Chain A
Amino acid sequence: MRVALFLTCVNDTLYPDTGRAVVKLLTRLGVDVDFPMSQTCCGQAHYNTGYRHEAEPLARHFSDVFRDYEAIVTPSGSCGAMVRELYPRMGERARAEGRGESLATTLAPVVPKTYELTEFLVDVMGVTDVGAYYPHTVTYHPTCHGLRGLGLGDRPRRLLQAVKGLELKELPGADECCGFGGTFALKNADVSAAMGADKVRNAESTGAEVLCAADNSCLMHIGGTMSRLESGMRPVHIAEILASTEEEPAV
């Protein structure tokens, strides 16, 4: 199977390790991964901040880049939700505004083929044990868009439970938002910071070494809070845990 990796602009620029981990993991599972070099950004930040008309050309671009692949895999619940949930909505709105059929028809082919990483592993590849080894205590934070937008359910936790050496700790208040929310973190910094601090406190109460999530944007916010609060915990993307093996363990 030939799949395209949609890494997202944030991961590409700030978290290349996550991208390398996805490539390593999927290759190990026999997937032929391609990274179309012309990919950029799904437009989520634009859309969610109210700049729908700036987001539309980015959505078109996304579709141009990815439409010919069998599947598109992304290690981000929120960018995955952008494509699957919000692209159809953008198409509908453009149609309702009488701007022709073109946006909806352009976006339609990529929508059902786009998968968040854990969804792709469990639903498309049919695996929960990916042969990973990660000898650490981990607590899992289900990010909002992955949880409610994509409905990832317990897929990530099933994958983590199958990792050798990993001890999973339940996170109290797991389904509460960490407070990132894109530009929300800037526009309502006080509330966002209070939410982040509560998330870190809950995570610390588990005694785990690592807080894991399937979205680096949330991890950036949680990790930044941990660093400022001088918490002993580390934020780690789930792809890096699943890519880790006994031969090549991640730290």
Chain B
Amino acid sequence: MSGTFVGMPAFPEAAHEAVGNRTLRANLRHATHTIRAKREKAVAEVSDWAELREAGKQIKDHTLRHLDRYLVQLEESVVAAGGTVHWAADADEANEIVTKLVKMTGESEVVKVKSMATQEIGLNEALEAEGIRAYETDLAELIVQLGKDRPSHILVPAIHRNRGEIRDIFAREMSEWGRPAPEGLTDTPAELAEAARLHLREKFLRAKVGISGANFMVADTGTLVVVESEGNGRMCLTLPETLISVVGIEKIVPTWQDLEVFLQTLPRSSTAERMNPYTSMWTGTRDGRAGEGDGPQNFHLVLLDNGRSDTLADEVGRQALRCIRCSACLNVCPVYERAGGHAYGSVYPGPIGAILSPQLRGTASEIDASLPYASSLCGACYEVCPVAIDIPEVLVHLRERIVEGGPVVREGNKVVLKPAKGHAAERAAMRAARWAFSHPGALRTGQRLASRTRRLHPRSLPGPGKAWSGTRDLPAVPAEPFRDWWQRTNGGKEGGK
């Protein structure tokens, strides 16, 4: 499958395939249940988890409320430390900026540490079009890149692949991208890891340009933070002469002290670890900070909007910008577990993807209009979210936007959306039901009619109801609705049964 998400079918269609794929479902079930149980343990160890969660929510909300101020402060801090700040309104602008920066170095290769923002904007493809090759260095990202695949999980992008598949991908593709896989490579984890290490080491030592994302940006010092497990990020961040970081504008925290909260909640929520194996921080350039001899010679920070300001304008939906991308919500989601990450048509799958993508991209496309319905509203995602994003609330809010329309901000302008097409029958049914429910007499007539004709009712339905009754039997309609019984027996006092 190609790297593009454009033209994705709507969620139910995309999910249909995954639901029928037994191996995929077994892989996903195993992986999500394992990490789910581990997370629960890691969280239970912390006595003040509820307070940490509330603190994380408050810090993020405060920052979002004053985002303009903190962004300016961040820019000043980065510049003071010798870096350069670029502002990108959308994907095209960001890609253009990065491509130009890479070209200025005269290089035609870059190493990348896993960054969702660059995937969101399709940076690798944009660089490729200009003759620049981007090497992913995160193990799972490498697997996805070599396999010409798409990520299907925030934290474990290759969650849908098993060891055998990974071996085949390495053996087949590595030589095309650099150092080939060793002869006779087997599918043991140690051998696979070693093959990746050798392949990547070569790239790290040669690379003059690194591209990264960031988990956090500290406004008062201009420091960027990446947390990771493999150490590849640290290599990307320290070895190249030029470092370009592409980061969404919502990733700011005001001060170093605020990191204290997230460096506890993020690892426990994502990998179920007490702390991240590698926490790398970088501030400006080596010359920008007098007396310190390390860091890149050139540092560029590309601040990416790409729909974030529009999302911020929505009072209910903006809470999605609190997300720290821990992926806990994916791992507990019963829908993600069965539909798989690809069905969400975005680098952000699962519950967070279902509320983030339709806000960042708008609800015009078929896939984006179907995402708010990709949930049974069971609430498991909200329960685990370390920054308390009420995902079900936002889902319902977005459904409302789709079926009823209403004011939204797109590209900075207020527009009023019309109700989406394709919901006319549903809208009519909802109106009719509301009318009947506002007239108890009409409801009663309907109930009686249903009771009287009950022998004629099929256990499965034609038309749109088929989806339900294709796999489930409908209940039989009773001979008498409750309210008739109540009246006939005077609340059960006369004539009993």
Contacts and interface: CB of A to CB of B under 8 A. Distances in A.
Interface string B326-344: 0000000011001100000
Contact of B475 (A14, A27, A33, A184): A14
A220 B376 CA distance: 15
A61 B437 contact: yes
A150 to B, nearest CB: 11
A46 to B, nearest CB: 6
A52 B404 contact: yes
B491 interface: yes
A24 B486 CA distance: 12
B481 interface: yes
A7 B437 contact: no
A46 B376 CA distance: 14
A51 B482 contact: no
Contacts of A34: 491
A50 B402 contact: yes
A217 to B, nearest CB: 11
A148 interface: yes
Contacts of B11: 188
Contacts of A182: 377
Contacts of B467: 185-187, 189
Interface stretch (B45-53, B128-136, B230-238, B427-435): B427-435
Interface stretch (B12-20, B147-155, B220-228, B289-297): B12-20
- Which of A35, A49, A184 has most chain B Cβ within 10 Å? A49
A17 B478 contact: yes
Contact of B335 (A53, A188, A224): A188
A175 B437 CA distance: 32
Interface stretch (B87-95, B239-247, B378-386): B378-386
B378 A224 contact: no
Contacts, number: 202
Interface in B401-418: 401-404
Range class of the B interface residue count: 35 or more
Interface stretch (B97-105, B156-164, B392-400): B392-400
B168 interface: no
A176 to B, nearest CB: 6
A96 B315 CA distance: 10
Contact of B404 (A38, A39, A51): A51
Given A16-B480, A144-B377, A188-B373, A33 B491 contact: yes
Interface in A8-55: 9, 11-17, 19-20, 23-24, 27, 33-35, 37-41, 43, 45-55
A188 B483 contact: no
B377 A181 contact: yes
A9 B315 CA distance: 32
A41 B437 CA distance: 6
Secondary structure at the A interface, as helix, strand, loop or mixed, is helix
B453 interface: no
A227 to B, nearest CB: 4
A225 B437 contact: no
B447 interface: yes
A149 B379 contact: yes
Contacts of A156: none
Nearest to A148: B379
Contact of B486 (A35, A148, A220): A35
Nearest to B493: A27
Interface in A189-239: 189-197, 220-221, 223-225, 227-228
Interface in B456-483: 464-465, 467-475, 477-478, 480-483
A23 B491 contact: yes
A16 B492 contact: no
Contacts of A61: 437-438
B71 interface: no
Contacts of B465: 186
A179 interface: yes
B108 interface: no
Contact of A45 (B400, B433, B480, B482): B433
A58 B16 CA distance: 35
Interface of A: 7, 9, 11-17, 19-20, 23-24, 27, 33-35, 37-41, 43, 45-55, 57-58, 61, 89, 93, 96, 144-145, 148-149, 175-177, 179-197, 220-221, 223-225, 227-228
Given A49-B426, A50-B398, A185-B472, 10 more contacts: A15-B475, A17-B478, A49-B403, A54-B431, A144-B379, A176-B380, A184-B376, A184-B377, A195-B334, A228-B473
12 contacts: A13-B481, A14-B478, A19-B485, A24-B492, A37-B486, A51-B430, A145-B379, A148-B383, A188-B374, A189-B468, A190-B16, A228-B473
